[in-house]
């Protein structure tokens, strides 16, 4: 969340930012070594077992019906089990 507000992030002392980035990198490394993976389902078919659809968006291409187009909130898996499901926007074909 500290990284999400670009304007506030840029105003913070550079040394503090570097410290937070270092801690984040180390934490993600340790979690990854213990089986935690970030889910990035953009371009995949929506599956309610793995994703939470927050909204739908209309598209003109029938082939992309049901495909995830935006990840609104990241998701995570631990050893091939969903710990936090990603919140996504799903494409919906309408004639």
Q: What is the pLDDT confidence band of residue 32, given thresholds at 50, 70 and 90?
A: very high
- Chain-centroid distance of CA 41 in Å reads 8
pLDDT digits (tens, 9 = 90+) for 42-77: 999 999 999 999 999 999 888 899 999 999 999 999
For the chain, the average pLDDT equals 92
Instruction: Give the model's confidence band at 19: pLDDT under 50 very low, under 70 low, under 90 confident, else very high.
Output: very high
Comparing C-alpha atoms, which of 62, 61, 60, 68 is closest to residue 91? 68
Better-predicted residue by pLDDT, 55 or 10? 55
> At residue 7, does pLDDT exceed 90?
no
Residue 6 pLDDT level (bands cut at 50, 70, 90): confident
Please report the DSSP string for the chain in residue order.
-TTT-HHHHHHS-HHHHHHHHHHHHHHHHHHHHTTEEEE--TTSBP-TTT-EEEEEEEES-GGGTTBEEEEEE-EEEETTEEEEPPEEEEEEE--
Report the C-alpha gap between 92 and 63 in whole angstroms.
Answer: 10
């Amino acid at each position: 969340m500290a990284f999400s507000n670009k304007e506030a992030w840029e105003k913070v002392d550079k040394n503090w930012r570097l410290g937070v980035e270092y801690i984040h990198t180390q934490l993600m490394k340790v979690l990854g070594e213990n089986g935690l993976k970030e889910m990035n389902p953009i371009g995949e078919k929506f599956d309610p077992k793995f994703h939470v659809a927050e909204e739908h968006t209309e598209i003109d291409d029938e082939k992309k019906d049901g495909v995830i187009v935006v990840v609104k909130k990241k998701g995570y898996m631990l050893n091939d089990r969903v710990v936090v499901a990603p919140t996504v926007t799903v494409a919906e074909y309408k004639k």
